């Protein structure tokens, strides 16, 4: 008679292993909680670090896409400027606007430093003139390029520029200084005694905020009245508003578009691309904190290994009993592996929750949008389970080697 029919080998179902492990963990919830604490903290910091860096960099790129990422500035960096040689050609604005991706562009320069006297009435002595107001020459596209918001009236256009009209646009601070709030009566501003009709007042500008203190005169009107700015003393600039993502491409082309004969005369400043910036932030913060989180996770695993090993020694009697009841060494190992994995899994689940709560709380306090990658959050508990499983390998091996005769003597 084949022996197998007399005595069937003992077996252990996976579902029973899980049930036993959970029962063992829940039998001493306090100890289980303390054991899992290391894993909890490790996984929590892991999730929090990744969540916070992605949240923070998400905010940064949102800021930059709004404004900085669409701004290109051009400066005249000529080594030996010639007299009466303004770097930008007359039709600089039209040339740049032809580049694909440019929304608006404007050339501007500050008029002769602080030399101009500005007042709302004619014939004012220089000493009585309003201080702190800057006179700018700017091409018509300038206002759109700096995202100026008009409070009243309008800005001047290309026609006004071409016909060298004596008109101006005021920044809101300059308008307040001059006592001008209404443009319906066509008030005039006197610059060095020359009258300029105020067409409009803008109360906000996202770029070049000092322009709010300025009196803006069409560039050709300015040159007609005072001549070209002296190279070397007053540098002309160009500010360009590009479409999102076009800044780099525009930056590459703008020199040649402006001065095909002398492209190196200009220095072009393009923003850091948001992608690159995000990467920088991530690298700096994540590298350090992920290392800390990993250390925390490793400490947690060592904690589980230690406690499980102690539990093995403490439960020698139980191991012997189970062996006498028909448990094979591999069944004993499975029990302890499942227990340490359960500890790791439970700790990691609590840790993931804590990490998510941390990210959401920080985002709430900072009024940010919390960004959590499911690719990080969802496997996090499993990572803890795997750590627990690995931590249980040595204790489980030790447990499986315990002889029932030794165990039952106690």
Partner 1 sequence: MTLATEPVINLQQVARTYTGPPAVKALANVNLTVSRGEYVSVVGPSGSGKSTFLNVLGLLDRPTSGRYLLDGIDGAELSERDRTALRGRRIGFVFQAFHLLSHRTAVENVMLPQLYTGMPRKKRRRQALDMLERVGMAHRAEGQAGQLSGGERQRVAIARALVNGPSLLLCDEPTGNLDSETAATVLQLIDELHSQGLSVLVVTHDSGVARRAQRTVMIKDGKLEVQLHAVPAFPEEGP
Distance of CA 33 to the CA centre of its chain: 37
408 lines the binding site for partner 1 (CB under 8 A)? yes
Whether the Cβ atoms of residue 257 and residue 98 lie closer than 8 Å to each other? yes
14 lines the binding site for partner 1 (CB under 8 A)? no
Residues 331-360 within binding reach of partner 1 (CB under 8 A): 331
- Cβ neighbours of 248 (radius 10 Å): 14
Residues 93-132 within binding reach of partner 1 (CB under 8 A): none
Q: Which residues of 302-317 are buried (b: 16+ CB within 10 A; e: fewer)?
A: ebbbebbbebbeebbe
Query: How far apart are CB 16 and partner 1 at their closest, in Å?
Result: 5
Query: How far apart are CB 335 and partner 1 at their closest, in Å?
Result: 10
Query: How far apart are CB 326 and partner 1 at their closest, in Å?
Result: 2
15 lines the binding site for partner 1 (CB under 8 A)? yes
410 lines the binding site for partner 1 (CB under 8 A)? yes
186 lines the binding site for partner 1 (CB under 8 A)? no
Q: Please identify, among the stretches 8-16, 129-137, 248-256, 292-300, the one whose residues bind partner 1 according to the rule CB under 8 A.
A: 8-16
Binding residue count for partner 1, defined by CB under 8 A = 33
Q: Residues 384-403 vs partner 1: string with x where CB under 8 A?
A: -------------------x
Cα separation, 145 vs 242, in Å, equals 9
27 lines the binding site for partner 1 (CB under 8 A)? yes
6 lines the binding site for partner 1 (CB under 8 A)? yes
Query: How far apart are CB 3 and partner 1 at their closest, in Å?
Result: 7
Cα separation, 299 vs 293, in Å, equals 10
Nearer to partner 1, 154 or 401 (CB): 401
Whether the Cβ atoms of residue 207 and residue 146 lie closer than 8 Å to each other? yes
33 lines the binding site for partner 1 (CB under 8 A)? no
Q: Residues 280-319 vs partner 1: string with x where CB under 8 A?
A: -------------------------------------xx-
12 lines the binding site for partner 1 (CB under 8 A)? yes
Query: How far apart are CB 392 and partner 1 at their closest, in Å?
Result: 19
- Cβ neighbours of 206 (radius 10 Å): 13
Can you state the angle between helices 329-365 and 29-66, rounded to 10 degrees? Answer: 40
Among 291, 313, 325, 361, binds partner 1 (CB under 8 A): 325
Among 65, 267, 269, 324, binds partner 1 (CB under 8 A): 324
Q: Please identify, among the stretches 2-10, 170-178, 265-273, 376-384, the one whose residues bind partner 1 according to the rule CB under 8 A.
A: 2-10
Nearer to partner 1, 320 or 381 (CB): 320
Nearer to partner 1, 186 or 324 (CB): 324
Q: Interface residues with partner 1 (CB under 8 A)?
A: 3, 6-13, 15-16, 20, 23, 27-28, 317-318, 320-328, 331, 403-405, 408-410
């Amino acid at each position: 008679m084949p022996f197998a029919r007399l005595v069937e080998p003992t077996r252990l179902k996976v579902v029973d292993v899980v049930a036993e492990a959970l029962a063992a963990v829940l039998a001493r919830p306090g100890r289980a909680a303390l054991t899992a604490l290391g894993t909890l903290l490790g996984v929590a910091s892991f999730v929090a670090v990744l969540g916070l860096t992605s949240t923070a960099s998400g905010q940064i790129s949102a800021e930059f896409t709004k404004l900085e990422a669409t701004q290109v500035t051009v400066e005249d960096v000529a080594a030996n400027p010639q007299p009466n040689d303004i770097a930008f050609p007359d039709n600089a604005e039209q040339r740049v606007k032809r580049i694909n991706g440019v929304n608006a562009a404007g050339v501007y320069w500050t008029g002769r430093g602080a030399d101009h006297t500005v007042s709302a009435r004619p014939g004012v002595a220089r000493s009585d003139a309003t201080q702190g107001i800057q006179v700018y020459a700017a091409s018509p596209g300038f206002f759109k390029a700096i995202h100026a918001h008009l409070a009243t009236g309008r800005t001047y256009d290309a026609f006004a520029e071409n016909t060298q009209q004596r008109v101006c646009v005021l920044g809101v601070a300059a308008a307040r200084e001059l006592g001008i709030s209404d443009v319906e009566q066509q008030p005039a501003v006197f610059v060095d005694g020359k009258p300029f009709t105020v067409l409009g007042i803008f109360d906000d500008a996202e770029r070049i905020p000092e322009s709010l203190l300025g009196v803006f005169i069409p560039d050709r009107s300015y040159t007609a009245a005072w001549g070209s700015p002296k190279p070397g003393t007053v540098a002309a600039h160009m500010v360009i508003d590009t479409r999102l993502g076009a800044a780099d491409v525009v930056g590459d082309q703008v020199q040649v578009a402006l001065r095909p004969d002398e492209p190196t005369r200009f220095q072009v400043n393009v923003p850091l691309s948001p992608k690159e910036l995000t990467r920088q932030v991530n690298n700096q913060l994540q590298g350090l904190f992920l290392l800390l989180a990993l250390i925390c996770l490793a400490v947690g695993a060592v904690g589980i290994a230690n406690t499980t090993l102690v539990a093995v020694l403490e439960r020698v009697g139980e191991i012997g009993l189970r062996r006498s009841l028909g448990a094979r060494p591999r069944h004993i190992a499975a029990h302890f592996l499942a227990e340490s994995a359960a500890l790791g899994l439970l700790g990691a689940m609590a840790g993931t929750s804590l990490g998510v709560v941390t990210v959401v709380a920080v985002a709430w306090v900072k009024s940010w949008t919390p960004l959590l990658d499911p690719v990080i959050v969802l496997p996090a508990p499993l990572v803890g389970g795997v750590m627990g499983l690995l931590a249980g390998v040595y204790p489980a091996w030790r447990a499986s080697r315990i002889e029932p005769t030794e165990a039952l003597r106690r």
